[in-house]
């Protein structure tokens, strides 16, 4: 019970939720392009209707243009964070109404979008990175429990998507073979669609999905999960047909990944060489892109701070230092650590830890650091 109490009373910084809201809002905007043709067809009286209940009300009875315009307005307001609670509730309601208006309007992507918009609304995600925040309507902290539910939702989707594929038809590779792109420059030739390759791809995809569910839950495996998730969704959008729904799905399901990052502001301390003009430029970029406020920057001219952080002067002068609760890194590894905390790069940055890339990165860092120009001479040399 105490654990439940901690979950429902905990407050967190609203920035990650704000970032997730922006990406999800973009996904909602693109989703309307994909669903509009179905809405349009259902408005034709000669087309079959498949209601869930007899004589149920349906959005398909309204002019499709009206539904599309309202969808676009609400998704835009939600994405930019304008009256986010109101626009989020209205958008959730609209998406649920579309979803339940006719069985032909159902899609797993739309269903997931509805859940995520609803939960991010509940989380008050408009409190940061939003027009609401600019107008002073934001909050310093937001409740953590809806964020926990967003994370649970993502894990559930991967887990059941993976488990549902454990059947003879899917394992035979026939679903993969039938879904591959057949036209255009990225078409997969028919002769490649052999049983061995397709069954192998099917097994790999199941392992990837179930692995994502587990990896996202476990902090130790999260970085790997980020890369696998990005690779999986970009990969299927490239090799599967149709492309647009898969791109939209990638945006929808990748949007909450940022909520799996450690949400404590200032959790990373970076000691940097403030006498170096080159470093100043990079640090300015880090600061600009640190939308989650994860990084605390400490200039290496601050001797008291160096003492406090237990960083030696020569270390601080030699390379960028990254200090977190449980680890320390310097040079290229410190740069990677920072990139893993930035919303724009955290999905890809773990790749920089791979052996050949890390080796090259270390060498390049040492070369650049050795030749950097220092505009101010440090008092201690």
Q: Which of 33, 66, 135, 152 binds another protein (CB under 8 A)?
A: 152
Across-strand partners of 271? 298, 321
Residues numbered 251-290 forming contacts with another protein, rule: CB under 8 A = none
Among 23, 26, 157, 298, binds another protein (CB under 8 A): 157
Tell how far CA 241 is from the center of its chain: 23
Residues 322-381 that bind another protein (CB under 8 A): none
Judged by CB under 8 A, does residue 233 bind another protein?
A: no
Which residue's CB is nearer to another protein, number 102 or number 274? Answer: 102
Give yes or no for residue 111 binding another protein (CB under 8 A). Answer: yes
Residue 258 DSSP class: G
Binders of another protein: how many residues, by CB under 8 A?
A: 45
Q: Looking at residues 30 to 89 of the shown chain, list those that interact with another protein (rule: CB under 8 A).
A: 38, 41-42, 46-50, 60
Residues 339, 345, 347: CA angle, nearest 5 degrees: 110
Mapped onto helix, strand or coil, the DSSP state of residue 54 is coil
Pairwise CA distance, residues 320 & 228, whole Å = 28
Taking alpha carbons only, the member of 37, 39, 133, 46 closest to residue 85 is 133
Among residues 37, 28, 32, 36, the alpha carbon closest in space to that of 84 is found at 28
Q: Give the 3-state secondary structure of residue 185.
A: coil
Q: In the complex with another protein, which residue's Cβ is closer, 164 or 357?
A: 164
Among 83, 93, 106, 353, binds another protein (CB under 8 A): 106
- Does 165 sit near another protein (CB under 8 A)? yes
**What DSSP assignment string belongs to 306-346?**
HHHHT--HHHHHHS-EEE-SS-EEETHHHHHHHHTTSTTTT
Those residues whose C-beta lies under 8 Å from the C-beta of residue 353, and which sit 6 or more positions away, are 223, 333, 336
Whether the CA torsion 185, 187, 191, 194 is positive or negative: it is: positive
Instruction: Indicate which single residue of 19, 71, 78, 145 sits in contact with another protein (rule: CB under 8 A).
Output: 145
Nearer to another protein, 205 or 330 (CB): 205
Cβ proximity to another protein: between 226 and 249 the closer is 249
306 within 8 A of 313, measured Cβ to Cβ: yes
C-beta of 249 vs 346, nearer to another protein: 249
Residue among 33, 135, 163, 354 that touches another protein (CB under 8 A): 163
Q: How many C-beta atoms surround the C-beta of residue 88 within 10 A?
A: 26
Smallest gap from Cβ 39 to another protein, in A, equals 8
Chosen residue from 115, 257, 260, 272 binding another protein by CB under 8 A: 115
Nearer to another protein, 133 or 150 (CB): 150
Residue 57: count of CB within 10 angstroms of its CB: 12
Q: Which residues of the chain form contacts with another protein (CB under 8 A)?
A: 4-5, 7-9, 38, 41-42, 46-50, 60, 102-108, 111, 115, 119, 143, 145, 148-149, 152-153, 156-157, 160-161, 163-165, 167, 169-170, 174-176, 178-179
């Amino acid at each position: 019970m105490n654990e439940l109490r901690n979950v429902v009373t905990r407050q967190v910084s609203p920035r990650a939720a704000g970032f997730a809201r922006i990406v999800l809002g973009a996904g909602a905007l693109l989703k309307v392009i994909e669903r509009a043709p179905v809405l349009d067809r259902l408005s034709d009286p000669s087309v079959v209707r498949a209601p869930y209940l007899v004589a149920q009300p349906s959005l398909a009875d309204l002019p499709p243009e009206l539904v599309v315009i309202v969808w676009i307005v609400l998704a835009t307001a939600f994405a930019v964070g304008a009256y986010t609670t109101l626009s989020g509730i209205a958008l959730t309601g609209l998406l649920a109404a579309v979803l339940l208006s006719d069985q032909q309007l159902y899609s797993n992507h739309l269903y997931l979008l509805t859940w995520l918009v609803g939960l991010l609304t509940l989380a008050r995600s408009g409190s940061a990175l939003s027009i609401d925040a600019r107008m002073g309507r934001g909050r310093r902290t937001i409740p953590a429990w809806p964020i926990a539910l967003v994370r649970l939702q993502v894990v559930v989707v991967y887990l059941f998507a993976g488990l549902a594929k454990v059947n003879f038809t899917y394992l035979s590779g026939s679903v993969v073979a039938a879904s591959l792109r057949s036209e255009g420059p990225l078409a997969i030739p028919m002769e490649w669609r052999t049983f061995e390759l397709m069954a192998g791809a099917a097994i790999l995809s199941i392992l990837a999905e179930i692995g994502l569910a587990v990896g996202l839950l476990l902090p130790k495996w999260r970085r790997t999960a980020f890369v696998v998730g990005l690779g999986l969704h970009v990969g299927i959008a490239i090799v599967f047909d149709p492309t647009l729904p898969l791109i939209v799905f990638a945006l929808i399901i990748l949007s909450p990944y940022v909520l799996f990052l450690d949400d404590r502001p200032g959790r990373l301390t970076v000691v940097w060489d403030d006498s170096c003009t080159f470093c100043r430029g990079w640090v300015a970029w880090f600061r600009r892109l640190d939308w989650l406020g994860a990084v605390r920057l400490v200039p290496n001219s601050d001797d008291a701070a160096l003492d406090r952080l237990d960083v030696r002067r020569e270390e601080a002068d030699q390379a960028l230092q990254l200090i977190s609760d449980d680890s320390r890194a310097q040079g290229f590894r410190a740069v990677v650590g920072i990139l893993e905390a930035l919303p724009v790069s955290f999905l890809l940055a773990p790749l920089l830890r791979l052996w050949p890339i890390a080796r090259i990165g270390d060498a390049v860092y040492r070369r650049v650091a050795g030749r950097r120009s220092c505009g101010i001479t440090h008092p201690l040399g």
